[in-house]
Amino acid sequence: MAAKTPTEPSAAQVSVIVIGYNDAEHIADAVLSALRQGTQVAEVVAVDDASTDATPDVLRDLAERYARVRVVRREANSGGCGTPRNDGLRRATAPYVMFLDSDDVLETGAVGALFRAAVRHDARVVAGRCVRRELPGGRDVPWQRALFTREAAYGSPAELPRLVRDTVCVNKLYDRSFLDRHGIAFPDGPFRYEDFVFTARVLAAAPRIALIPDTVYIWHVRRSTGRPSISLARDDIDNWRSRLRAHRRALEIFEEAGQKKLTRAAEVKFLDDDLRLYARELGGRSPEYRAEWWRLAQEHLACLDEPALRAARAPARWIARVITAADRPRDLERLVELAGRPARLMPPYARVAGRPVWDADLPGVVLDGLDSKPLHRLPVTVEAEPRIAWRTRRARLRLAVRVYELYGRLAAAGPLTVDIELRHRDDGRLGLTRNAALNPDDDSWTAEVLLGLGDVAAAGGGRPRGVRAAGPDTWDVRVRVRCADSSSLYTAARATGPGLRRTAVPSRQYGLLLLQPYATVGRSLALRLAAGPSAATAVLHRRLRRLATRNTLNTRNRRRNRKRAAVR
């Protein structure tokens, strides 16, 4: 029989390095997802970072059942993810390596798809699509979607500087000899955002890199957990401090390697992504947090030059200029809305010497480009206030819509009508559309749109009374403003008003409808509708389960804190 070559799917060429700490509940799923990739996986190196729960027992059981599982047990916790990954790299024996976190999984066929692309393109690094799966709902949000629309290969990352935006290490296959040759490893110890530094070291070494559109990694986002991941635990100012530290180190790596294009791309990435991400959460932070966040942001922005600001998107560079110009936190509601996605620029709208500026007392913060950008690219604010309206014993949802002026740009275009669209959260399909005429109202335009709840339920596949109902549907409310000059803009409606609460209404067709208008994380309006008594009951049961889980986690945290206090 002929010897197998590395290009054959059954050739064991890949080591999957799984790291975990106190994650006995999920780590088996991670390891098994790697084993199920087939014989192409030579081994799964599971590194336990000195767990104090049942994680060692779970891994020991897996190693006894599967010969390809090798367990590395650290005697002391490292405080981060970098050290256990480095431990795994040192123990791995296959020509290629991948990384996997204990609470995530590899998609079926991921290793094969990545390895075949590595051979096909002679690439040292191959990256595939990663999706963030929101749990328990199961909604998938692609990570850096624009990078993975088609298969492509690049002789160097400098050919596609946007690669710096894909800072995660887990959706990639690495040629082990390439990492060894360039001495590439993770920062050791309690270093947050170690992926930023590792990815910078990889890209700075200028590997031939391939991208594939296949989904390879499922990143589980568990927001209700008692121990959120680093990327979710942003309410601590040390998280922001760590983010800035990791970004500065990435810039240093690119600069030391002479990678000017990657340096600039990383600067722009910080403005467009990191700065906006943290700025849009300032509304819920304490005054002490805001003051220190502002100081640290000013310090970091001082290192960026004007060309970097101009290369970023308008909302990001406007935010950066406000932070740089003001000696303390100010206009936080406006900054939060501008940092959101979609960006919204709230009033007041001031001009100084004919130029649009952030405010009259900050004349140096010019909102450059606002007078020249096409209408559809402007951060126009459209609000929608939901209320239940009764007519002849039938409940309808009334949306009071307000379109705000923006430095005279809308007045010049002449807003005429507004279309309200419901887009399904899971698949983006259009549920229904309603339109209405816009009426001038001082510096804004208003309209009222009525949505029949039965029509909304039917659009989501709701079933009549007596038939087992489907689960609740979630609809995002989108708005299209049409103007007299034939221009238009399309955006998400900003949720406002007191009507953001769950309401149960009777229905002739469905028996019962449970409606919940709510504001998303970005303050956009969404509608959750359960049609039929069984669907409504299921929603209430899930709500009760979430409350019970939250209470259990709070109790555990209180007990843990008492134990820590007793030890001290």
Cis, peptide link before residue 307, omega less than 30° from 0:
no
Tokens of 24: 């006995």
Which pLDDT value is given to residue 365?
96
CA distance 365 to 371: 15
| Averaged confidence pLDDT in the chain | 90
Which pLDDT value is given to residue 563?
46
Mean pLDDT of 499-512: 84
Selection from 103, 95, 160 nearest residue 127 by Cα: 160
CA distance 398 to 420: 11
Secondary structure (3-state) at 202: helix
Give per-residue pLDDT as tens, 145-202: 999 999 999 999 999 999 999 999 999 999 999 999 999 999 999 999 999 999 999 9
CA distance 261 to 266: 9
Measured CA angle at 164 (ends 159, 169), to 5 deg = 120
CA distance 3 to 504: 67
Is the CATH number 3.40.630.30 carried by domain 14-233?
no
Mean pLDDT of 136-144: 83
Q: Report the top-level CATH class of 382-532.
A: mainly beta
Give per-residue pLDDT as tens, 443-496: 899 999 999 988 888 887 654 444 444 568 899 999 999 999 999 999 999 999
* CA atoms within a 13 Å half-sphere pointing along the CA-CB vector of 477: 35
Contacts of 244 (CB under 8 A, 6+ apart): 296, 300
* Range(s) of the chain covered by CATH 3.90.550.10: 14-233
- pLDDT higher than 70, residue 398: yes
Q: Any bridge partners for residue 172, and if so which?
A: 127
Secondary structure (3-state) at 7: coil
Query: Cα–Cα distances in Å, from 55 out to 22, 31, 46, 52, 188?
Result: 6, 12, 11, 8, 22
Measured CA angle at 39 (ends 38, 45), to 5 deg = 90
* Range(s) of the chain covered by CATH 2.60.40: 382-532
Selection from 366, 364, 344, 346 nearest residue 356 by Cα: 366
Mean pLDDT of 3-17: 66
Handedness of CA 343, 339, 247, 300 (dihedral sign): positive
Cα 562 versus chain centre, distance: 34
SS (H, E, C) 320-363: HHHHHHCCCCCCHHHHHHHHCCCCCCCCCCEEECCEEEEECCEE
**Full-model pTM:** 0.86
Selection from 289, 276, 277 nearest residue 318 by Cα: 276
Contacts of 483 (CB under 8 A, 6+ apart): 375, 410, 413, 414, 415, 416
